[in-house]
Structure 1
Amino acid sequence: MKMTLNIEPKPQTRPRFSKFGTYEDPKMKAWRRQCSQLIEQEYDGQFFDGPISVDITFYMKAPLSVSKKPTPKARAKTWDMFKRFTSEMLWHFKKPDIDNLVKALFDSISKAGYNKIDKKGIVWTDDSIVCDLRACKKYSPNPRIEFEITELE
């Protein structure tokens, strides 16, 4: 089951503490809610409750130094980087950490269509059933998240 979420990837933030207790960043909550809604609208695959493999690619927004079209007199290295960026072949090796991106996505998938009575969502019972994971992040002119879930034997 393959799926593309047209939403800019965002890393899971750490909980904050105050004298009133712990709380989560409201922007993070809003992003996860939006991501879960996208999954609910577009997901039409099977429900997973056994061991699965997940393959994720996070296409990240690039800084202006990478995404801006170089001048005709620019160095060959600059042109090469720009071409790799436009063809989505340029690795994103800066922050945010990939594990925090995965956490935010998995939480959104788990919450999509969550039923309090059955204690499960529309995609899987819980992200603990993920036994094999491959994740990568690349720069792209079109930020999004693509993932594929396959059942393991």
Structure 2
Amino acid sequence: MIELTIPIEPKAQTRPKFGRGGAYEDPKMKAWRGSATYLIKSLYKGEKLQGYLKTEVTFYLKAPQIVSKKPTPKAKAKTWERYERFMSERIYCAKKPDLDNLEKAIYDSISDANCIWWDDNQVVEHTTKKIYSPNPRIEIKIKKI
């Protein structure tokens, strides 16, 4: 099993833009994908996996201030409890970005890195979640099945 922690803030895959010259990718998305691809290449030194694959991906996202701001000493117990859950990474994110677009961005970056799998169509089973965290990153486990 491959386990990687990619130290980059998750970003959702954007839709292609259309202009006079045809379709093109958003420059910010292109830069993010380049960074993610570089990190994956630098983190993984093993063989390419063949056959069917199963992934478990956790996207640790930056939280809104209402969740991430440290409460004052006089704050209600409920506020402190929410902050403690945030600090221990136990609050799911049910807001944008969409999970499938986050997954598409990281899978495409892994495919671009050309070192873990031949193509993301090898992934036949997956579990994915998004959680608020004080330390945004992407954790992925890839297993041959």
TM-score for the superposition, normalised by structure 1: 0.92
Which residue of structure 2 lines up, in the alignment, with residue 84 of structure 1?
A: 85
> How many residues are aligned here?
144
1:6 and 2:7 aligned: yes
SS at match of 2:131: strand
CA distance in 2, matches of 1:21, 1:35: 26
- Show the 5 A alignment for 1:3-152: 3-112=4-113, 121-152=114-145
Which segments of 5 or more consecutive residues in structure 2 lack a partner in the other structure?
Answer: none
TM-score for the superposition, normalised by structure 2: 0.97
RMSD, aligned α-carbons: 0.8
1:44: Cα distance to partner? Answer: 2.2
1:78: Cα distance to partner? Answer: 1.1
CA distance in 1, matches of 2:20, 2:31: 24
- Deviating runs (4+, > 4 A) in structure 1? none
SS at match of 1:81: helix
